[in-house]
Each structure stands twice: as structure tokens, then as C-alpha cells.
Copies of this chain bind each other. A is one copy, B any other.
Amino acid sequence: MPKDYLVPLLRESQSKILLLILDGLGGLPMEAGGPTSLEAANTPMMDRMAAEGTLGQIVPIRPGITPGSGPAHLALFGYDPLTYLVGRGALEAVGIGMQVKPGDVAARGNFCTLDANGLISDRRAGRISSEAARPLTTMLQTIEVPGVEIEVQHLKEYRFAIVMRGEGLHGEIEDTDPQRVGMAPLEPVAQDKASERAAKLLRQWIGSAQALLAGQPQANGVTLRGFGTDPVLPKFQDMYGLKAACVAVYPMYKGVSQLVGMDVQRFEGEQPADEFAEVARVWPDYDFVFCHVKKTDSMGEDGNFAGKQAIIEIVDQALQTVLDLKPEVVIITGDHSTPAKMKYHSWHPVPLLLWAPERGLQDLQTAFGERACALGGLGTIPATEILPLALAHAGRLGKFGA
């Protein structure tokens, strides 16, 4: 179990912790000398919390490593992503409520477009809509492969999830998406002997899928990626003694939370204010709430500097709702950086704000931003250390040794 030195130190407490993740929070200036989206944003509430609290920077995986969202969130929860590898397929399948048990094999599927020679001409089938993709997913659900049970569910647009269940299955299988056009989809190849049965059955399934889709104008092929199973992660509650809830909109983040044993909440609405209302609703029942805001990352990926800034401002305006809950500890940070300038995830350290008025050591910083965080009192620390810091500031850890 990661951080098992914490377990003997855990203390009973009524104190509560909010972990607010603004996905892809970290950024870069669009031009030298300019501000980042976070620095440009008008954030009176976060700035007040920065002045009252302590800033720092987190390194998601290792210096220089650009994280995917799955490993970045595992790190935030205290699981070193170099040790705990979880296939994206399992994360997404679990995130939309599919069962993935140890021994099942899950994968993420994409509809794609194949040309007359069977070569991929569009890896995302022209980004077909969810409306267009759902009936195709229903077709895939009719495929039967003897000896195993197969479940297929639509995710969003051209994406679906597949879970195979049966005896003797293992998921060490290579992606079938060649990651470029002009090539045929790859065969699912087992990376070890134990996974050969699953790979063979998946080849059967893919054959049936291509046959069923052959007449489609755009989505006449499939690729599969991110094979994996339930990694049987050590449970968050066992590691930290925290009863934990997840408030998130996107399947992926619900999936990670579910796999570590958090209670994933279902609620209406997708705006930060909707999420904070849900945080408030579940607050009395939990010690720890993880709340995930996605759109900061989406705006960064779109290269929309002002849009990212606007989302941060919307979050700031809604923050009073959660401060009214009187949390002992609030941590605001991101899972990674997504600079609008790069239109992509990046490796840059992520701004970290720890607000714990009872037990925190105020530093000299008075605004929440990348450059202020580099001067913050928490220093530059691995993302995996924020949970121990949260526990300490919540009065939930006893002394190590005498």
C-alpha cells in the first residue's frame, strides 16, 4: 500500500477536506512577459485564500513528464503512477457505470473510417455525433463470442467502451489503433502468454464488428486501446481513514475515483455551480470530497486562453458555496498543466493552494498564480504528497515515533 507509514498515525476527527481540481490548471503566457490564464483571471476569492493560506507547486509524475489524466489523478490521490498502472479502458468503462472486475478485460473503442483497401482514412470516423454512434453501438452489442460474455456501452461521440468477462482472460494486449491514417487497424496482440486467449477472442469480436459495420458511410471500422482490468488498487479509505465522495462530470474521473473506492455521486448539471451545489449536498456525509472541474483543460486544449481564464473566474465566483461549508482544509490545484499556448497537456509544475486557517503557516504570497506558487511556502513537491499534507492540516495525523 502506498504511504503505509500513514496508517498507524491516522486519528479520528470530525474535520473535513475539500480537494478541488481544476483540470489542466497550469498554463503559460501567450507571449513572453504576459500573464498565464490563472494570473490574468480576476479571482478575488482564490487570492484571499492564497493570502490566508500557503502556496506551492506540484509535480504530477516526475519533472519533465507530461501526464495523461488517469495517472495524473492517481498521483493526486497518492498513488505513484509509475507503480500503479491502470488501463484507460478500465477507467472509462467504470466511469460510465460498467462493472470491471479483476480478471475482466476492458478497453476503449473508437469508431473509425476505413477506405476501400481497409486502411484507416479517419481515426475518429469524422467525429460522428453521439446520436449517430448510439445505434452503431447497439449493433455491436449483438455480437456473440462463444465462451465469454461481452458488454459494449457508448461513451461519447465516436467512443465506446468494451468489457469481456470469462475464465482465463488477461489484458496485457497491445492497442489496435496505429495512431495514424493510411494504415490498417492492428491485430490485438498479447504481450504475454496469459493474455493470448483474450487476444484471440478479441480478434473474433473485431471480425464480427467490421462485418456488421461494413455498409456504414463513415463509421465502418473500429480500433481498441487502453486494455486493462480492475487493478485492485489499495482503497483510499484504508490509506487515509477518509470517507470520500467524488463530484465529477466526466466518466474518466468518476472511473478513477470509483477504482480507489470513493462514492461517485450522480447529479444534474455540468457547471461549476452545479458541482459545488452537489458538494454542499453530500458534505455532511463525507470526510473528504474530491470535486473535478473539466473545462479549464478543454479550453487549454482548444488554445482558448481567454476561455480558460473565464472558466477560472466562474469557479472563483462560485467558491463561496463551498467556503460556507466551513471546511477545515481546502486544496485547489490541477492534475497537470494545459497551456492554451501549447493546446496540449504539459509537464510544467502545477499551482497549488492549501487553505487551512487553523493550522496552516501563511506564506508571503497574496495571489493565486503560477509565479506566486513558485515562491510559496510549501515548496515544489510531488503530487502524491498533497493527501498527507491535507490530513496533517486537518488534525488527522498523530506523531511518528517518540
**Interface residue? A126 (CB, 8 A):** no
- The answer to whether A65 and B397 have CB atoms under 8 Å apart is yes
- The answer to whether B68 and A402 have CB atoms under 8 Å apart is yes
- The answer to whether B364 and A375 have CB atoms under 8 Å apart is yes
- The answer to whether B381 and A63 have CB atoms under 8 Å apart is yes
How many of chain A's residues have a CB under 8 angstroms from any CB in B? 64
**Interface residue? A148 (CB, 8 A):** no
- The answer to whether A9 and B349 have CB atoms under 8 Å apart is no
**Interface residue? A188 (CB, 8 A):** no
Partner of A402, one of B88, B377, B380, B401: B88
**Interface residue? A119 (CB, 8 A):** no
Most buried by B among A61, A70, A81, A347: A347
Among residues of B, the one whose C-beta sits closest to the C-beta of A70 is B401
- The answer to whether B380 and A374 have CB atoms under 8 Å apart is no
Contacts of A5 in B (CB 8 A): 62, 65, 82
**Interface residue? A279 (CB, 8 A):** no
Residue-by-residue, is A367-402 near B (CB-CB < 8 Å gives 1, otherwise 0)? 000110011111111000101111111000111111
Contacts of A226 in B (CB 8 A): 402
Among residues of B, the one whose C-beta sits closest to the C-beta of A372 is B364
Distance (whole angstroms) from the CB of A331 to the closest CB of chain B: 12
Which candidate, A202-210, A241-249, A292-300, A355-363, is the interface stretch facing chain B? Answer: A355-363
Partner of A399, one of B28, B68, B370: B68
- The answer to whether A66 and B399 have CB atoms under 8 Å apart is yes
**Interface residue? A67 (CB, 8 A):** yes
